[in-house]
Chains A and B, each alone.
Chain A
Amino acid sequence: MPPSHLSHWGLLITGDPLIYGADASIALASIAIVYVLTKYKKWKWLWDEWLTTVDHKKIGIMYLIAAILMLFRAGTDAELMRTQLALPNLHFLGPEHYDQIFTTHGTVMLLFMAMPFIFALMNIAVPLQIGARDVAFPYLNAISFWLFFFAAMLINISFVIGGSPDAGWTSYAPLAGSTFDPGPGENFYLMALEITGIGSIGTGINFLATILKMRAPGMSLMKMPLFTWSIVATSILIVYAFPALTVVLALLLIDRVAGAHFFTITAGGNPMMYINMFWIWGHPEVYILILPAFGVFSEIVSTFSRKTIFGYKSMVFSLLLISLISYFVWAHHFFTMGADASVNSFFAIASMLVGIPTGVKIFNWLFTMFRGRIRMKMPMLWTIAFIPCFTMGGMTGVMLAAAPADYQYHNSYFLVAHFHQVLIGGTLFGMLAAMYYWWPKVFGFLLDERWAKWAFWMFNIGFYVCFEPQYVLGLMGMQRRMYTYPSGLGWTDLNFISTIGAFIMGLGFIFLVWDIIYSIRYGERDLTGDPWDGRTLEWSLPSPAPHYNFAVIPHVTQLDHWWELKQQGRQDELRPKASEMRPIHMPKNSGKPFLLGLAFFVVGVGFVFEWYALAVIGFLGVGALLLARSFEAHPDYHIPVDEVVHTETALGRL
């Protein structure tokens, strides 16, 4: 065995220059943030405008910033991994460190990058698309964000203090149990996911209630934008899948800290139960990750082809069908766990069936473009890049669904290539397309196209160079989660090429960040609120929208109401009239969601290090904050009409 690099000094992790470098960066960044806030006297601003906000638009911005930061963090993990794998028998990262890095890479990318990116889009777009003033439960919305934030803090400090989880993002028992993996590392994983999971469930409930109950008058379900429909489907998946995660992680935690026997080898524990319950959540989770992207693509294809979406009814039906079937395929994640032939056959067929409505959507997008007028703006470029990439990923998905064939793909680089292709080509491309699309609405300026194109090409080329060789590596017998590999099996060349691709993708990310920085200063300002000649209600508002969104709630009569009005020259009907204004009922800001997140963080730290007094204090804090909220008599206020008139006049709308 190669010697271990990592060790402890108390709780601090030592022994690796990379970790020291990270420690230094964290310390420097924290000092810099505190310094800037103090120098420019922005603490009150931070508290009043951001830490206590219940405004969905600001919550969306916070989720977006978090997602991009986490993309950087988990992307760095990936670059480290690919560096270690560039050549055989390297010891840039020892096995323990590598194991921690691939675990956090997966965990952060899926739960702390992709999920917040989706929540960002939900918050930014859905209330505006349905003509609402906010979500159904703004206070809960804030709680969901802060739970996510503090959970992200928890998982991100783990490699500095106590050690990161190292059993894979799936954290299978019995490997992840206390017998084989003692210490705080796995506990970080469990607590962080529990806490963010509660936030996610809150978001699912919130958006289901919002969309079902708060649409503008006249907007029946079949006149809703398809992005909103995709969020209905996503929210259903969230609400009915995340509880399974809450339970399975809680049981593993109880095993680890209380010595129970749910998933242990002795005293009757059943590790296969962990795997089943994990994937009962895990499969709907990946559909949670892709359906919003599908919704985004529907909006973008339609807008940038200047054409009504093809097959609206079929698109809605396929969204719901995918959601339904996704609950019946979970065992395809462990075909090789020895279920009998009839069980594997059922799950194989169900897994193939779920590809059918997905394929239908692709054809509907293609035929939306057919006989349209396509404008190659950044959102459309990302959408066009998605189609071949994700379709190929879907193809390998159906290949994986053929259970006997999966016996040769499972846990190999073929699988790794497949899921990266659908997650990057599907989810990430969708998130980036949406970012370029809705950015002007959120911030009031567009992202510069030149730098965006550099990011786009680097990222796309880098993706194919990185991941297509990995399919071949899988067919050559290379397993996943290996920190190194021997020479002589012919794996070296493809691994080296794959590493080059990873670094090209990293370059793409740098261009993306530079684009944002550059555009803050030099980006074209969005003066009309409708930079793309859009179709849905959010484009009828100024950019950024006023904090109450709509001065007067519009009455909707058709799909793509805003677009159709513009075609008939009737767009002024959506400009508010002072005579129709009423006082607007709004929720008050509150510091309790932030504090609730903090209290959960304390609970998390308590369980991670098994300092139960701390966990109890944290729980008491949670209880106290919940009660305090319950006792609040007036958590809301009204914006008087004069103020609305004043704001709308200043925006040039009256």
Chain B
Amino acid sequence: MATVIEHAHGHPVDEGEHYVPLEYTEKDDSLKIFGFWLFLTQDMVLFACLFATFVVLRTHIGNGPDSESLFDVKGFIEETFILLTSSFTGGISTFYMRKKRAIGTVVWLLITAALGAAFVSLEITEFLHYISIGATMQTSAFLSAFFTLVGTHGAHVSVGIIWMISIVIQILRRGITPALSRKVFIVNLYWHFLDVVWVFIFTVVYMMGVIH
């Protein structure tokens, strides 16, 4: 007689056996984390296409400025420092989440979101400055590519901030449930991914743009 095995809904691993992080304890949540990794790889391809476009068009400056005359080193170093720090603070929130410490999780998520907001506002200031001196998206192919690549990243960060705040609200209402542990984990995956993309932007767009 063949045995038939039922897919149980999911059960937490016994304490004392090998450690499983909180967000992986339910099969459903593990599956969603896997799906999110797949989503991130797709987003990687998306950014890769934007990078390719930028690299092809970076010297196509038309009648407009080139990157050397445009970028302010201090500005993008600040942005980088803030964003990288926010990834670290996001990691701390994951640490608290795994200990099921709701307040710790919430505090560090809010700090991360705040740093993200600081990053976005610096970036918006940067863009507004360029526009005020006549370097707009309509000026040249280089600027179209620059605004689109960096702007897409900034838009992703903005979405992440709203997302984090929504998770904070849910945690304050319900505490650290398995589903919410998964959400904290996933939003941090997203955040770290955006950090990696920023490292590439910093290198390919800004550093290579000011060094000749």
Contact = CB atoms under 8 A, between A and B. Distances in A.
Given A580-B4, A630-B166, A585 B9 contact: yes
Contacts of B5: 217, 553, 555
B113 to A, nearest CB: 15
A268 B61 contact: yes
Contacts of B3: 555
Interface in B132-183: 137-145, 148, 162-163, 166-167, 169-170, 174, 179, 183
A555 B141 contact: no
Contact of B148 (A243, A251, A554): A251
Which of A254, A267, A277, A554 has most B Cβ within 10 Å?
Answer: A267
Interface string B101-145: 000000000000000000000000000000000000111111111
Contact of B142 (A208, A239, A244, A268): A268
A582 B31 contact: no
A246 interface: yes
A109 B168 CA distance: 45
Given A206-B35, A209-B35, A573-B1, A239 B41 contact: yes
Which of A243, A254, A273 has most B Cβ within 10 Å?
Answer: A243
How many A residues touch the partner, as a band?
35 or more
A204 B39 CA distance: 10
A213 interface: yes
A91 B16 CA distance: 82
Interface string A271-299: 00100010010000000000000000000
Contact of B141 (A240, A269, A627): A269
Given A273-B53, A627-B166, A557 B144 contact: no
Contact of A273 (B2, B32, B56): B56
Contacts of B170: 630-631
Interface stretch (A258-266, A354-362, A503-511): A258-266
Nearest to B151: A254
A254 B166 contact: no
Nearest to A272: B56
Contact of A267 (B50, B139, B179): B139
Nearest to A264: B141
How many B residues touch the partner, as a band?
35 or more
B45 A244 contact: yes
Contacts of B2: 555, 557, 570, 573
Contact of A270 (B4, B8, B35, B60): B60
Contacts of A650: none
B120 to A, nearest CB: 16
Given A136-B31, A205-B38, A267-B141, A262 B6 contact: no
A72 interface: no
B68 interface: no
A243 B46 contact: yes
Interface in B5-27: 5-9
Given A205-B35, A267-B62, A553-B6, A247 B46 contact: yes
B7 A553 contact: yes
Interface of A: 133, 136-137, 140, 201, 204-206, 208-209, 212-214, 217, 239-244, 246-248, 250-251, 254-255, 258-262, 264, 266-270, 273, 277, 280, 552-555, 557, 570, 573, 577, 580-582, 585, 623, 627, 630-631, 633, 638
26 contacts: A136-B35, A204-B42, A205-B38, A242-B42, A244-B49, A259-B137, A259-B138, A261-B139, A261-B140, A262-B145, A267-B139, A268-B60, A269-B144, A270-B141, A273-B57, A280-B49, A552-B4, A552-B6, A555-B3, A555-B5, A557-B2, A573-B2, A630-B163, A630-B170, A631-B170, A633-B174
Given A206-B35, A261-B141, A267-B141, 4 more contacts: A133-B7, A213-B31, A255-B144, A264-B141
